[in-house]
Amino acid sequence: MATTKRIEERIAAMARELAEEELGDVDDSNALSWLDAVETRAVEISDMIAAEMVRQKAATRPAEEDESICPQCGKLGRYQGQHERPLITRRGPTTITEPKYYCPCCRKDFFPDDQGDRC
């Protein structure tokens, strides 16, 4: 991937800054070792970064259409505005903003990004 080197450099700079600020006095009293405690805290921070990246990317999605196809019945649903919801990502919890539609046929709200899971 062409961007790998660039991403590695950015991650190294960010990791250096976070390590200085967040790993200075890691509590290792309940860890297997000091290194184990450092790794545990680093994993917690990386999970927070991943969840925040998902939240920010979801917030920058382009404006939605006035209508969207209901994944349950296939009829058109009307845009109801943006909806905030908590989301459990693979790396931890976050809150995203997503478009909500209402299907008059099913009489339910639906969220196109869910591919019909909640309709």
Residues 6+ apart with CB under 8 A from 90: 50
Which of 54/103 has CB closer to Zn ion?
103
Q: How far is the CB of 71 from Zn ion (least distance, A)?
A: 8
CB of 80 to Zn ion, least distance (A): 13
Comparison of 52 and 109: residue with beta carbon closer to Zn ion: 109
In the complex with Zn ion, the residue whose CB is nearer, 16 or 75, is: 75
Q: Is the distance from CB of 19 to CB of 41 less than 8 angstroms?
A: no
Element of type H or E holding 89: strand 76-89
* Residue 106: closest CA among 66, 57, 69: 69
Residues that bind Zn ion (CB under 5 A): 70, 72-73, 103, 105-106
CA-to-CA distance for 3 and 9, rounded, in angstroms?
A: 10
Task: Please say which residue, 37 or 106, places its beta carbon nearer to Zn ion.
Answer: 106
CB of 66 to Zn ion, least distance (A): 16
CA 85/CA 74 separation, integer angstroms: 24
Question: In the structure encoding, which two tokens stand for residue 15, read together?
Answer: 């990791």
Distance in Å, CB of 119 to Zn ion, minimum:
6
